[in-house]
A and B are shown apart, each in its own frame.
Chain A
Amino acid sequence: MNNEFDDLQRKWQKNKEQIRNEPMAMDTMLAAVTKKKASTIRFQYGNIVVLLITLVVISLFFYYIAPVQQILSRIGVGLMIGGLFLRIIIEFISIIKSKKVDIVNNVLSTTQETINYYNFRKRIHGPITVIIILLYTIGFYMITPEFSLYFSTWQMILINTSYIIAAAIFIPIIRKSVKQEVKTLHEIIELKEKIIAESVS
């Protein structure tokens, strides 16, 4: 077995030399890495930026365009904005937690940190996301009685229908992403078990 493995090792080293002898490819790759660094950072904060813009637009809408008068509606606006605000805070915490997954550590520690991160995500996705969606929906329907005073019936039907359609589109997307993250969590737990299990057997 050792001779065969030595052959593999020689082949491996030969392949590596081939890569080393392509300085042009190395330079091109370095240029691509430099370019990609910026887009990685943009991606991480992209979600927060989108949520913040939504928050600002909704706040401006209710302040300047449709300043509701009734207490019930005002509580509704508060719930909608509060739900979004809570979501933004959670996104920030999520980024902070993801940064705690230190890729410089050994594999076992990094795997454990990743498990902790995904456990946190699982907690968010479970009750917290449901609460946020409920807050937003309750808030929305608390505003509709006052809106019905200013809008015609067909306009109200349009507003309500669009909300239901939006929910029908977004809820399955959220569910899919939750399922994916739970699956990922199980994969990492399995990976950790593999690292430990074989090493103690």
Chain B
Amino acid sequence: MSKKNQQFFDTIYRQCYPMVLQMCLGFMKGDTDIANDLSQEVFINIWKAIDKFKGKSSSKTWVYRITVNTCLQYIRKEKKKSNIPLEKIEGILADEHSGSKTEQDQSLYRAIGKLEKIDRLIIMMVLEGQDYDNISNVLGIQPTNVRVKIHRIKKRLKKILDNEQ
């Protein structure tokens, strides 16, 4: 990797790590260990694809695409490959995170986790403050269709949260 790309990767990592980890947490129903592993996978994919970034979309939209695709690919990939032992360091990291999470935070992730996989990712992009155009760019469907989808997902999420209370 060239020095320029290394710098770009570092910048993306600093800017997007909280977003990526949180989306992984929501996708994995608040399981910190798996979410850490998955976010590592996302950054490995970003690292592999860094040469392909042409700047046609913003770097954030680009990271969203990789994050969403990696999450959707992750479960089937994990079924196939043998477990790579997690570094001891990650255990410490997981403890740090789980220690800082309140029951309320976990319930948000658990509620999101009750949605369909693709719906989890869409609603998390909405929670991230992404507009319909950006979400449609990530998904590859029309913005008007994204609007319909989001409306339905919000209704489903409300129902889940109401049932939990």
Q: Which residues of A contact B (CB under 8 A)?
A: 1, 4-5, 8-9, 11-12, 15-20, 22, 24-26, 28-33, 35-37, 39-40, 43, 101-111, 114, 177, 180, 184, 187-188, 191, 194-196, 198-200
Partner of A8, one of B18, B100, B108: B108
Provide the bound-state CA to CA distance between A125 and B21, in Å: 36
- B148 and A103 contact, CB distance less than 8 A: no
CA distance A92 to B83 in the complex (A): 23
- Which residue of A has the minimal Cβ distance to B100? A18
Knowing A12-B108, A33-B44, the reply to whether A198 touches B79 (Cβ < 8 A) is: no
**Contact of B140 with A by CB under 8 A:** yes
Tell me, in angstroms, the Cα distance from A101 to B90 when the chains sit together.
29
B84 partner, pick from A4, A39, A108, beta carbons under 8 A: A39
Interchain nearest-CB distance for B14 vs A (Å): 7
Known A-B contacts: A26-B13, A110-B69, A195-B118. Give 14 more (CB < 8 A): A12-B124, A16-B19, A20-B17, A28-B89, A28-B90, A28-B92, A29-B36, A30-B13, A31-B89, A35-B87, A43-B84, A110-B72, A114-B73, A195-B141
Given the complex of chains A and B, what is the CA–CA distance between A107 and B97 in angstroms? 29
Write out the residue numbers on chain A whose beta carbons fall within 8 Å of the beta carbon of B69.
103, 105, 107, 110
Q: Are B138 and A106 in contact (CB-based, < 8 A)?
A: yes
A15 and B22 form a contact (CB under 8 A): yes
Closest to A108 in B: B140
In the assembled complex, the CB of B116 is this many whole angstroms from the nearest CB of chain A, namely 7
Q: B104, A108: Cβ atoms under 8 Å?
A: no
Partner of B145 from A5, A33, A35, A200 at Cβ < 8 Å: A200
Inter-chain contacts of B155 with A (CB < 8 A): 1
Chain B proximity of A81: nearest CB distance (Å): 28
* B66/A103 in contact, CB under 8 A: yes
A28 vs B49: C-alpha distance in the bound complex, in angstroms? 22
Interchain CA distance A132-B160 in the complex, whole Å:
51
Q: Residues 125-140 of chain B: 1 if any A CB is under 8 Å from the residue's CB, otherwise 0? A: 0011100000001111
Give Cα A200–Cα B19 distance, bound, in whole angstroms.
Answer: 30
Q: Complex formed: what's the CA distance from A198 to B149 in Å?
A: 7
Contact call A19/B43, Cβ cutoff below 8 A: no
3 pairs of A and B residues whose beta carbons are closest in the complex = A106-B140, A108-B140, A199-B145
Task: State in angstroms the CA–CA spacing of A180 and B79 once bound together.
Answer: 8
Instruction: List B contacts of A180 (CB < 8 A).
Output: 79-80
CB–CB A184/B79 < 8 A: yes
Q: Contact check, B76 vs A184: say whether CB atoms are below 8 A apart.
A: yes
* Cβ-defined contact, B66 with A194, below 8 A: no
